[in-house]
Structure 1
Amino acid sequence: MSFDSFLRKAGDAIKDIKDKFVEEDEHSHSHETECQHPNTNHRFQSAFEQSSGDVKWYVDGASYFWAVSMALEEARESIYILDWWLSPELYLRRPPARNEKYRLDNMLKAAAERGVRVCVIVYKEVTLALSCDSRHTKHALEALHPNIKVFRHPDHVPNRKELVNSFAGMSLNPLSLAKASTDALTSLYGSVGDSVLFWAHHEKLCIVDRRLCFMGGLDMCHPIADAHPGNLDAIIFPGQDFNNARVFDFEGVNNWNHNQLDRTKSSRMGWSDISISMKGPIVDSLLEHFSDRWNFIFDEKYTAKDPGKYERIELRRSGSRGHHHTLDDMSERFQRGFRRVMGEDEYEDRERRYGGGYDSPRAASIQLCRRRVSIWLASFFITATSNEQRPVQNRIGSAIVSRILRAHENGENFHIIVVMPAVPAFPGDLKSDDALGTRAIMEFQYNSICRGGHSIIESLQQAGVRDWGRYIHFYNLRNYDRINTSSTMREAEREAGVSYEHARRDYDSRHGESRGSYGGRTYEERGDGDRGYRGGYREEGREYDDPGRYNEYGQLRRDYDEDDRRDRYGYSEGRSDEQYGRPRRNYDDSYGSGYDGGRERYSGREDYSGRDRYGGRDDYGGRREDYGGRREDYEHRHEGRHERYGGDREGAYGQGRSERPYERYQSAAAKVENRTWDTVSSCYMEGGTDIREVPWQGSEEEEMNSFVSEELYVHSKVLIADDRIVICGSANINDRSQLGNHDSEIAVIIEDPEPVETTMGGRPFTASKFAASLRRSLYRKHIGLIPDQRCDRPTRGWTPVSVDPQDYDWGSRGDRLVADPMTHEFWDLWLATARTNTQVFDKVFHAVPSDRVRNWEQYDDFFGRRFVIPGVKYKEGETEGRVEYGHVVRDEFPGGVREVKEWLSRVRGTLVEMPLHFLEDLGQDLALEGVGLNFATEEIYT
């Protein structure tokens, strides 16, 4: 069977699966009379008509999760969450040591104790390929309180024995799939007959009390609660929250406190994302979407499996379309989002005829790309311009080419800016065999943009547009920081007799122990250790636990309840709060209490200078000296902080255990004077101190070795057109998100009626406040025109839309510089900033991808032979002369650290040019020859 045929038949898999479960399905036939098909006459095939409401944006996770925490804290009726991955241990407010009650599981437990109904739907992953561990999510949350219910979906068809046999002897991770056999992939992704089902639920949605909604690109999971500019040396991220996916993937996330990264050597990968909150009639559409999904899964899975444990969600309002039960309709049902849209009907009709699924994000994106004059697009990016680019089917690339050609022919001023990840967030040296999947994704991206004969740029050149750079631009994000490994640390280590890293691991382990080790045992006592646990799979020895779950044929026993079997986790139905280390907390019963509406609530928090320790780590919850300021300034600015916004002052663990490594280190560090900043990320943002003036206590060589860099991962899914319209949601620019019969996605198109008078290309122009403020904020963030953002300094922009409207500093210096994105003055600033930043990172850190690397020989010379690359096994002596991954290439700087800081002082913001020439000499040999080993990986990657 050809891959194209396979792709087209993917949607038929659901019907095939339905036939296998017809007996289990009969119990709910009585519900079918309620079913009605969605109204496909809505624009872009949206499931819902246009609606209205108020909306507020959040740039990056710190402000967004703070707003979510405010809503969860005041929930009185219901909390509905729909996520791809949910980490119960996620801190919605930072630093953790002062915000224990704002950890997600604690907040949901407290809400449940108030009588709030908590319903969570998470994607049930393929455990051999993904490490998000939805089983842990389900068991950890449901064990907290009977009012918390968690659904995992979908179930995967193949039995365990097939999976074991198919993948025997393989080191399993998402990157090894390209080498798997056809039979193995068929088993892994649930093939039935001639079809396959391997999509994922990718939506991100939270609805509180049926009146307030949060959605966008952020799951409630590790490691994404960033404040801009995305600090690398951020001890505010405990356990696996401190993650760099380019170094190590997540492993054993049920043991969240276990972390392989050495914080004294490795940087954290920053995370750039965008989300929104909404209130008003639009929430009804989202509520209906969630309840339909919940009820469908209930009918399809949990009615017979757990009778009496779960129940349907009934909508009190009239006009509900009812739920859809049949598996025939599932492929369409999971594409239903809501869209607030505008556009021409004839184009919409043509788009509706394009395919069989609900592909509203694609239809809307294509139309906006074709009909606007200024477009900002931040997303994962794989698209096509023609049928010759199979297997890629979405034609957003074609719409971009058409619009640029029209602008070129008419002499129009038109620009598209695309911001996307530099490298997919998978670990491994790009040259290694394990990185084949990473290279495959990059191959599809480059073929979308500039290679392969049918890309966007090549199509423009073939049509006579030689100066395509006038119209479209591609960028990545990258940042740097300085790990505080000064002489202060060594002195504290000598005094304590314990290393910083040992103390850090002790603290992380203690956090997990104090909050409740599942089954009453610690991580080590359960025997999980460092063996790379993933959903019961142990890579060493290829052993699978809990054999009693399966019969002699390797099939799941009928009497075994996979979702609720807790013995292997040590759960018991009656576990008390104390056993789980989560003391019951008292909550003020008045709805909305603690929010006085005044600006003074953001002015500071109680002085906690007495807690100051080395590096401000104070239970690894804080960073000293205002994240790069002086101690006296920090203490002054924190006077009078309202406790509600400063977080929970409880949560200091291990009191009275002075002999533990953590307390020993903290006690010693408190006696050592330290003038070294924990982070220097403020230096390249507005108002930041010049990096050349930042103090360091130690030798110049040590300071040079302390600088680190990493890509700032672009996880955003947003399109802004003409400062008037915004598409924001969970959908990437790729086939998995756009076709309508792959991953389930949700997005909203926002056209704010509140105008703002501005200019576009120097001419008077009326924009919308929502779109214009969001676009300007993003531009300013990327080129360093906003101040450094503290994780514990909330503003009006950090609250839900139900509390404060959008807050933006109209008319400020930074705002004026980016107000008109079509002028020569703006482009001079934008292009020069990106060029300078790119040159600095190329020289100082030899970051890859880079245009200085056109083939593997240049890759080795520029990168491979200069770094100790994580995961690579070196022979004795091979690491001599190399530096740690992400650190400064010393050979470039005969002038030492002073020369390094001269270069770094030129960096502004995080914007860098996307290296379109990276490995271009390889032609089509970057990865596709490996992908061709099986028939399924192409669709996985696109």
Structure 2
Amino acid sequence: MVNSPTTEACDCDGSELPKPKLVKKKGYIPYGLIYRTQDEFQKVGYWIPGVAITARITKVEKDSSTNLHLLNPWIYTVEATHGRYKWTVFKRYADFAQLAKSLGGHRRMEQFKTPFRKAKTKIENALDDIDQETKDYELQVLEKGKELGDFGTPRMDSDSGDEPQSNGKTPDSPDEELDEEDDDHPRFPLLPDSMISEVHMERRRAQLERWLKHALTIPVNRDYHQMAEFLEVSRFSFINELGGKHKEGLMKKRPGGGKVYIGCKQFCVKWILPWMERYLILKDSYVCYVNNNERVRLVLLFDEQFEIDSPDVITSTKPKYMFLSNASHVLAMKLQREDEAFYWKAAIRQVLETTGQIWLKPKPYGSSYPIREHQYIQYFVDAKDYWERAAAMIELAREEIFIADWWLCPEIYMRRPMAEGNHWRLDHVLKRQAEKGVKIFILIYKEFELTLNLNTLYAKKLLQGLHPNIKVMRHPDHYFGTGTFFWSHHEKLIIIDQLIAFVGGLDLCYGRWDNSTHVLADLGSVQYAPQAQGYTLTKGLAGAVEEVASQVINSDQHLAKNHNEEPEDQIKAKTDHIKHAVVDESGHRVGKTKTSMVQIPDDDAEAEKEEPEQKEREKGHRRTFKDVMNQIKTRKASSPNKRSRSPTPFDNVPKNEKAASVKRTPSGPAGITADLMNPHHSRTPQQIARDSPFGQKTLRWHSVALDASSSPGFDDSKTFDITQSSSSITPGRNEKTPVRNIIHEPKNRTIMRRVVSNLKTNRNAKRWKMLLEKDKPDDVNDEYVYNYCKVHENEVDVSGLQGAGKLWPGKDYVNYLVKDFVNVHEAYSDFIDRYRVPRTPWHDIHSVVYGEAARDVARHFIQRWNATKTEKHKNKKDYPYLLPKSYDSIKVPKVFLNKDTHNCDIQVLRSVAHWSALIDGKEDSIQDAYVKLIQNAEHFIYIENQFFVSMINSTEVTNEICKALCDRICRAHREGTKFRVYVLIPLLPGFEGDLGSGNYSALMAVLHWTLISISKGPHSLMENLKMNGIEKPFDYVSFCSLRTHDELCGKLVTEMVYIHCKLLIVDDKYTIIGSANINDRSQLGMRDSEVCVLATDREFVPSRMNEEEYQAGKFASNLRKRLMKEHLGLLSEAFHKAPINPSVVDLDDPVHDSFYHDVWWKAVKENTQIFEEVFRTFPTNLVSSRDELEVWRSELPMAEYNPDLARHHLKQLWGNIVQFPESFLCNEDLSPTITTKEGLVPSAIFT
């Protein structure tokens, strides 16, 4: 069982914690430094700060394998240790001699540079004395390494005479080193090994060991890159989370080597260009090499096809050659000596037998990824909860954010209502993280512009223009020969720090945001929403704030021009009209009110107003921020060394500021803005109006009217009371400070500081940040815990009222059947008449996984990113190759887990091929998992999917899902056992088109393939069931859809709920969530690229299957029952509740007739009949031809001729579930003809 941490409302603002310092401390090198340049690394060295380096020559042996090394016949085995890293290198005397020579040359060069460097330091110190501005974060100036010019050099002498022993200590200062005599340094022996007798080799070994140990005690020698090369160390050797230090070294590689053809240049590169020198690095799960600038040029992941010297790829049998190959590449290398090739192969084999072994073994369903046991997973139904969770997790990112999407719109709002202005708009969220140093990599499907109007080029330009840390690539290109015209990248992924991974069916784009209510209208007026108990006038009053804001504070000029306090009667006159916009619990307007402005609650006053049940529920599932901080501080106090963390966006929050808790319903349109609710965001009215997409009409109130926090005289420990006059700011409870009296920094001082800042060098930017101690690994998670609690502490509660804004602004308001997207770059301009046309609700499912499973999802993204870079931007250094983190030390902060997080075994499944991932072959593990889970199902199968295009024994559609369903149902029929299959798909495909018109469209083409998969023709499921003797197929399988209704401008309207899920649940134990549809495009592997996760429950609860006791998985059963409750109208927040008490509906047993027939099918049939009577909806089984459809559409619906009676009938609906019309237009041939554009393209596009 997972112990969910409590998550009570945080009443601690974190001011008790010491401010973070950017200091260089002992411990390890943060993973984020992999993106530093070679020059930045070499200035501070490759070694872990404060950790000793020791080297021992453990063995010396003569090379008897060859006679080529006459001068250097002896091989020295050097064992090096650096913290937890231990590795072995093999060297000859010539290698030692070359190192000694290099150190001598380095010394002479540094002696020349030393006077200039000292002068530079004095100038910087003088400038630091001038710059006395108080810093937000105290910086600890690192001690400068000793200049090589200040040291004596290791002495080079003959082997005669005894050598003085080194004490092995590093001098405390350069002056102490200068005082030492040269004889205190071990001499380097000059005679080569060929001139030393074998009996003296032990003495030679001891001499070289003493010399090497002493060289490592001198910082400037140790940090010199030649010393790192000698010990086979690079800037990737000791970076945290990159895994162990195995083997590294220089070699030459043959150009080219890709197994997938990406153009004619591939041949020229491979056979014409000369071999190039590269530095090869062996890690836990991959091999990579870097060029002379230490930029990664290739990452070779371990997989089932990884081999050393595979007979299929060897082009030379010379012992100095080595060939490494995997599914995507052949790496041909030539080493300097035969023994080097031997040592390299031995090292790689050792890794393959340990950490790399898991990647070489065959895995279930043919996946590239193993089953990860005891992983954490959480599901999200509809976009609201998913987007909010994703936005919060993005705020916690420390190093990397990966995003892969079919379509990405940067200007969508991740949290709605937009109570905090643009704070949670996607591009703003990503920009904030990029400015903090987080690297953001985004992969977007590059659409074929003749068929799709996604304008992903606009998204790429907008995102990359936000900050240099944001990199975007689009793929594939549409070139003849190497391009891909028909297939797409269909994954929907967000990966944070390779620790958190969101996987599912929801893109970050227009039209996707929705919640369980699936409302059809969004006009933005103040409306009543169903309230829970505890509704208060204050909560209802808050809904009118935005309407009043533009009148109380008409513009930012009001604050600038009118500094004097306005008489209270004037303020009252401006705000008296609020009472006309307020609604009470029953939905009626409120008359007199006690107060005319929303006040920020004092301390916990708002919390005291909450219902006891709500408080207890939150107490059970929320972790108190004060408790978290106390735990962190206790750990820090008990540690002998202070630790640091990186700055968070909340460090400058005034101590006593509290966010107002204004209640709203999740379904209501938004209007109340963040700057009133959340005083933590100190923005001026000008900034608020500028950032808002709705202009001056949504001018936000804010507790701090001017950006006073940047003034030297500003005390950020005091709160501001917005209940006072708009022309004054109240620092405390009893003291007013007029706006005009705010102290601003003198202009001349600002200029002086800017001049000094420009004169100073960028040395501060080159310091290493946040190097923590490895002996306290829990501190790494403290930053996650701190930021997580602060993000949730600052959340605005909008769960009670729907206000004046829109939940679906601009392009978010869409009806796919009426009109496809146009001008997508104009985010906030409507293209659908929202006063006449209802929106299309969107139903979808997503998930989040943590730990090893998230690492696997990140590994897929890295493979795709690196493949795209190789194909499109191989020589552009602005687009780096990505490296996967290791799996050896993964810790998931407990604060990430909650009551909805479940313990499951997780496996990542994919559909990828040569065009999508540059692999030689394909992977269709998603289809394999679908088929085998269906075949082995014992009781029931539950499917929600955007498509159902799967046929039996067909040459046009070849995926085997439909055949597996048919075989499993037929087996149940033969055995006489109860078996149920629930399938939910959209009523119509989501393409622009009109079934009643004579124009053929993509909508008709996809509908054609859907109907012949389900019921029409010899390859359909229903016909095959009947051919196997099943006269009543609906006793085993139900095909359903979703439809809802609403009122738009006083008129009853209806629309389908578009099902976009990609979900499979089997026996309440196995769950697949991802991006893969049930069609050939997603399932075959060679077409669209897809990613899913398979969750196998490990925690079980008592349940029933066909009235027999059964142990159901918690994750799978909770998700299934949550979905069934929504579709049957049994949720407490349902917009159209079922006319029955939810407690009497038993969802535990989806197999028994009491549910399948008496609840599910009953609701389906009754709902379908009601919608057809009230709205004359289509598609419908009552229409079998185009002529009948024309007659059906011409009849006046009840909703128009008798709205009151229609409303009465609609009250009898059981949620949104309706029957999918499998017999619709059964007498018509819906296949595309050669005269239509759909008939001119391959049918595979629609299947």
| Global fold match (TM > 0.5) | yes
User: Residue 196 of structure 1: CA displacement?
Assistant: 6.3
Do structure 1's residue 225 and structure 2's residue 538 form an aligned pair? no
Select which of 106, 110, 123 maps to 2:428: 106
Deviations 1:498-524 (A, max 9, x none): xxxxxxxxxxxxxxxxxxxxxxxxxxx
Taking a change above 3 Å as real, the CA distance of residues 836 and 24 of structure 1, as seen in their structure-2 partners, is farther
Taking a change above 3 Å as real, the CA distance of residues 407 and 318 of structure 1, as seen in their structure-2 partners, is closer
Aligned counterparts of 1:428 and 1:482: Cα–Cα separation in 2: 24
Taking a change above 3 Å as real, the CA distance of residues 437 and 316 of structure 1, as seen in their structure-2 partners, is closer
Select which of 321, 326, 331 maps to 1:36: 326
Q: Which amino acid aligns with 1:920?
A: C
Select which of 824, 830, 847 maps to 1:259: 830
2:504–2:1062 CA contact under 8 A, matched in 1? yes
1:40–1:47 CA contact under 8 A, matched in 2? no
Taking a change above 3 Å as real, the CA distance of residues 893 and 267 of structure 1, as seen in their structure-2 partners, is closer
Taking a change above 3 Å as real, the CA distance of residues 396 and 309 of structure 1, as seen in their structure-2 partners, is same
1:849–1:915 CA contact under 8 A, matched in 2? yes
Q: Which amino acid aligns with 1:18?
A: G
Aligned counterparts of 1:143 and 1:227: Cα–Cα separation in 2: 32
User: What aligned pairs does 1:176-325 form with structure 2 within 5 A after superposition?
Assistant: 190=480, 197-234=485-522, 235-304=806-875, 307-317=876-886
User: Residue 926 of structure 1: CA displacement?
Assistant: 4.7
User: What aligned pairs does 1:807-826 form with structure 2 within 5 A after superposition?
Assistant: 813-814=1142-1143, 817-826=1146-1155
Q: Which amino acid aligns with 1:817?
A: D
Do structure 1's residue 451 and structure 2's residue 1016 form an aligned pair? yes
2:867–2:917 CA contact under 8 A, matched in 1? no
Taking a change above 3 Å as real, the CA distance of residues 40 and 760 of structure 1, as seen in their structure-2 partners, is same
User: What aligned pairs does 1:551-700 form with structure 2 within 5 A after superposition?
Assistant: none
Taking a change above 3 Å as real, the CA distance of residues 915 and 40 of structure 1, as seen in their structure-2 partners, is farther
Aligned counterparts of 2:1069 and 2:913: Cα–Cα separation in 1: 32
Aligned counterparts of 1:31 and 1:754: Cα–Cα separation in 2: 38
More strand as a share of residues? 2
Deviations 1:381-432 (A, max 9, x none): 3444433x23101011111111111000000100001000111111121244
- The aligned counterpart of 1:918 is 1224
Taking a change above 3 Å as real, the CA distance of residues 815 and 259 of structure 1, as seen in their structure-2 partners, is farther
The alignment-based identity, stated in percent, is: 32
Aligned counterparts of 2:1176 and 2:912: Cα–Cα separation in 1: 48
Select which of 1160, 1171, 1179 maps to 1:841: 1171
- The aligned counterpart of 1:65 is 387
Q: Which amino acid aligns with 2:945?
A: S
Q: Which amino acid aligns with 2:860?
A: H
1:383–1:395 CA contact under 8 A, matched in 2? no
Deviations 1:835-885 (A, max 9, x none): 11111111222221111211111111112x46xxxxxxxxxxxxxxxxxxx
- The aligned counterpart of 2:461 is 139
2:1174–2:1198 CA contact under 8 A, matched in 1? no
Aligned counterparts of 2:1236 and 2:1061: Cα–Cα separation in 1: 27
1:382–1:735 CA contact under 8 A, matched in 2? no
Aligned counterparts of 1:230 and 1:94: Cα–Cα separation in 2: 14
Aligned counterparts of 2:477 and 2:1144: Cα–Cα separation in 1: 49
Do structure 1's residue 48 and structure 2's residue 374 form an aligned pair? no
Aligned counterparts of 1:114 and 1:137: Cα–Cα separation in 2: 22
- The aligned counterpart of 2:1189 is 859
Q: Which amino acid aligns with 2:1176?
A: H
Question: Gaps (5+ residues) in structure 2?
Answer: 1-257, 277-295, 301-322, 328-358, 523-805, 890-910, 1136-1140
Select which of 741, 756, 774 maps to 2:1101: 756
Deviations 1:258-308 (A, max 9, x none): 22211111111000100001112111111211111111211221123xx23
Aligned counterparts of 2:429 and 2:324: Cα–Cα separation in 1: 36
Do structure 1's residue 18 and structure 2's residue 263 form an aligned pair? yes
Structure with max Cα Rg: 2
User: Residue 902 of structure 1: CA displacement?
Assistant: 1.2
Aligned counterparts of 2:834 and 2:993: Cα–Cα separation in 1: 18
Select which of 381, 390, 401 maps to 2:947: 381
- The aligned counterpart of 1:365 is 930
User: Residue 24 of structure 1: CA displacement?
Assistant: 7.6
User: What aligned pairs does 1:491-510 form with structure 2 within 5 A after superposition?
Assistant: none
Aligned counterparts of 2:808 and 2:1238: Cα–Cα separation in 1: 40
Deviations 1:295-322 (A, max 9, x none): 1211221123xx23221112342799xx
1:724–1:767 CA contact under 8 A, matched in 2? yes
Aligned counterparts of 1:40 and 1:422: Cα–Cα separation in 2: 43
Aligned counterparts of 2:1190 and 2:1026: Cα–Cα separation in 1: 32
Structure 2 counterpart SS, 1:764: strand
Aligned counterparts of 1:816 and 1:890: Cα–Cα separation in 2: 32
Q: Which amino acid aligns with 1:41?
A: P
- The aligned counterpart of 1:829 is 1159
Q: Which amino acid aligns with 1:262?
A: D
User: What aligned pairs does 1:667-816 form with structure 2 within 5 A after superposition?
Assistant: 703=1050, 706-788=1051-1133, 813-814=1142-1143
Aligned counterparts of 1:29 and 1:313: Cα–Cα separation in 2: 10
Aligned counterparts of 1:94 and 1:23: Cα–Cα separation in 2: 54
Taking a change above 3 Å as real, the CA distance of residues 232 and 469 of structure 1, as seen in their structure-2 partners, is same
Q: Which amino acid aligns with 1:114?
A: K
Taking a change above 3 Å as real, the CA distance of residues 937 and 898 of structure 1, as seen in their structure-2 partners, is same
Question: Gaps (5+ residues) in structure 1?
Answer: 1-12, 158-189, 321-328, 338-354, 486-702, 791-811, 867-888
1:335–1:357 CA contact under 8 A, matched in 2? no
1:229–1:910 CA contact under 8 A, matched in 2? no
1:380–1:734 CA contact under 8 A, matched in 2? no
Structure 2 counterpart SS, 1:817: coil
Taking a change above 3 Å as real, the CA distance of residues 933 and 444 of structure 1, as seen in their structure-2 partners, is closer
Structure 2 counterpart SS, 1:377: strand
- The aligned counterpart of 1:90 is 412
Structure 2 counterpart SS, 1:295: helix
Aligned counterparts of 2:917 and 2:1155: Cα–Cα separation in 1: 39
2:1000–2:1236 CA contact under 8 A, matched in 1? no
Aligned counterparts of 1:814 and 1:289: Cα–Cα separation in 2: 44
User: Residue 76 of structure 1: CA displacement?
Assistant: 2.1
Q: Which amino acid aligns with 2:1161?
A: L
Deviations 1:176-235 (A, max 9, x none): xxxxxxxxxxxxxx566xx96521000011111221111100011111110112111133
- The aligned counterpart of 1:939 is 1244
Aligned counterparts of 1:144 and 1:856: Cα–Cα separation in 2: 52
Taking a change above 3 Å as real, the CA distance of residues 313 and 933 of structure 1, as seen in their structure-2 partners, is closer
Aligned counterparts of 1:196 and 1:99: Cα–Cα separation in 2: 40
Deviations 1:451-490 (A, max 9, x none): 112211100111111111111110111111112x2xxxxx
1:776–1:815 CA contact under 8 A, matched in 2? no
Q: With the length of structure 1 as denominator, give the TM-score of the two structures.
A: 0.61
Deviations 1:328-368 (A, max 9, x none): x972584799xxxxxxxxxxxxxxxxx96311111111111
Structure 2 counterpart SS, 1:852: coil
User: Residue 927 of structure 1: CA displacement?
Assistant: 3.6
1:86–1:122 CA contact under 8 A, matched in 2? yes
More helix as a share of residues? 1
Do structure 1's residue 149 and structure 2's residue 471 form an aligned pair? yes
Structure 1 counterpart SS, 2:971: helix
Aligned counterparts of 1:841 and 1:91: Cα–Cα separation in 2: 33
Aligned counterparts of 1:432 and 1:855: Cα–Cα separation in 2: 13
Aligned counterparts of 1:245 and 1:22: Cα–Cα separation in 2: 46
Aligned counterparts of 1:743 and 1:815: Cα–Cα separation in 2: 44
Taking a change above 3 Å as real, the CA distance of residues 789 and 134 of structure 1, as seen in their structure-2 partners, is farther
1:229–1:909 CA contact under 8 A, matched in 2? no
